[in-house]
Amino acid sequence: MIKLIRRGLWTAGLVLSIAVESQAAVRVVATTEDLASIAGAIGGDRISVQAIARGYQDPHFVEAKPSFILLLHNADLLVVVGRELEAAWLPPLITQSRNARIQPGSRGYLDASLTANILDLPTGPITRAMGDVHPQGNPHYWLDPANGRHIARAVQQKLAELSPDDASYFAQRYQEFDRRLTDGETRWLAAMAPHKGTRIVTYHRSWTNFAERFGLQVVGYVEPKPGIPPSPAHQFTLVQEMKRDGIRIILVEPYFDLKTPNAVARETGATVLVMPPSVGGVKEASDYIALFDYNISLLASTIAKTGAK
């Protein structure tokens, strides 16, 4: 009998210790792979992290699948891009998650855009006649590594708040990430320095922060207005402008159809460059720093090859 009780207690202790152990790791869900990569870099083995949108998927149009409800149900921390990028799919997921920890306004809800440098903030009145404009500024802000640092900092502070015992661990991981990012920035800026001021056309308005940081000039878009598919009239105007200005490069996100960009390229002699705006967009962009390594080397070599100015 005593043996039985002892065994029972031992089992209970084991179960409890496992439960405590699984409690110890902060379960993080990020809406995109970019945020997940940064959170992983800061959280290390003290957190588990999962992303909702894949890097090769248009983050504006994610389906609010019930499998994501399960993901959110168990989360301790939800990191979102914000600026209405996820407005079309995240709110019902959060409501249905039945998880008080990650409701907006709770401790476990982190809007990564709050400390970032946001561009394209509307200065005048806006209407939907301008297309699917983001009234709170361009949500593709993670494409400036300086904003990656801001995001990392915000994540570090949030993780330290949620798991105070690991605060110094997160601080140290942040320092390490910061160092790797600084090294990267030196590398990327050096690679892009000879091409400063290069004029390009992009499909969607995803590259504003990227262009700003690396000295590119975005002079036109394949979309006539944000979120509005290309029209023949706009394509004609774009071709004329590109010919007149000698634009050699069209940047396209991997989730857009290449038909119009290819047609424009054929008429203008420009090169279509498919560049992932997110971690996981291509195999090589396996984390936040690799994303820039891949994009910068691709871009710099294409600019050199096409002689774009």
Partner 1 sequence: MISCVRRSRSFPVLLMAGPLLALVPAPVQAQAQAVAGSQPAQELRDELDRLRREFEAVRDAYGARLAALEAKLASLPGAPGAAAAPAPPAAEATVPPGAAGAGGPAGTLPVYGGGAGTLSKIFNPDIAVIGNFLGAVGENDVSPAPAFEMNEAEATFQAVVDPYARADFFLAFSPEGVEIEEGYLTFPTLPGGLLAKVGKFKQQFGKVNTFHPHQLPWVDSPVVLENLLGGEEGLNDSGVSVSKLILNPWIFLEATGELYQGSSGVFQSFERSDVSWLGRLRGYRDLSESTNLDLGTSIAYGTNDAGPALTTRLVGLDATFRYRPLRRAIYRRLLARTELVWSRRAEELAAVSSFGLYASGDFQFARRWFAGARYDWSERAVDASLVDKGPSIVLTYWPSEFSQIRGQYRRLRYGEGDTANELLFQFLFSIGAHGAHVF
Chain positions contacting partner 1, by CB under 8 A: 54, 56-58, 61-67, 69-70, 73, 80, 82-84, 87-92, 94-100, 103-106, 109, 111, 113-121, 128, 131-132, 135-137, 212, 227-229, 254-257
Q: Which is nearer to partner 1, 200 or 300 (CB)?
A: 200
Distance CA(219)–CA(242), nearest Å, equals 9
Distance CA(129)–CA(65), nearest Å, equals 30
To the nearest whole angstrom, how small is the minimum distance from the Cβ of residue 123 to partner 1?
Answer: 8
> Which stretch of DSSP H or E encloses residue 291?
helix 288-306
Contacts of 112 (CB under 8 A, 6+ apart): 35, 79, 80, 81, 82, 142, 150, 151, 154, 155
Per the listing, tokens 């279509």 go with 272
To the nearest whole angstrom, how small is the minimum distance from the Cβ of residue 24 to partner 1?
Answer: 20
Decide: 46 and 174 in contact? Cβ < 8 Å. no
Q: Which is nearer to partner 1, 147 or 248 (CB)?
A: 147
- If phi > 0 it is left, if psi is from -120 to 50 it is alpha, else beta; for residue 240 that is alpha
To the nearest whole angstrom, how small is the minimum distance from the Cβ of residue 92 to partner 1?
Answer: 5
Decide: 99 and 75 in contact? Cβ < 8 Å. yes
To the nearest whole angstrom, how small is the minimum distance from the Cβ of residue 205 to partner 1?
Answer: 13
To the nearest whole angstrom, how small is the minimum distance from the Cβ of residue 50 to partner 1?
Answer: 14
Q: Which is nearer to partner 1, 248 or 277 (CB)?
A: 277
Decide: 80 and 90 in contact? Cβ < 8 Å. yes
To the nearest whole angstrom, how small is the minimum distance from the Cβ of residue 285 to partner 1?
Answer: 15
Distance CA(133)–CA(122), nearest Å, equals 9
Smallest Cα–Cα separation from 65: which of 93, 84, 102? 93
- If phi > 0 it is left, if psi is from -120 to 50 it is alpha, else beta; for residue 248 that is alpha
Q: Which is nearer to partner 1, 171 or 274 (CB)?
A: 274
Q: Which is nearer to partner 1, 79 or 300 (CB)?
A: 79
Distance CA(59)–CA(199), nearest Å, equals 26
Q: Which is nearer to partner 1, 116 or 299 (CB)?
A: 116
To the nearest whole angstrom, how small is the minimum distance from the Cβ of residue 137 to partner 1?
Answer: 7
Q: Which is nearer to partner 1, 35 or 300 (CB)?
A: 35
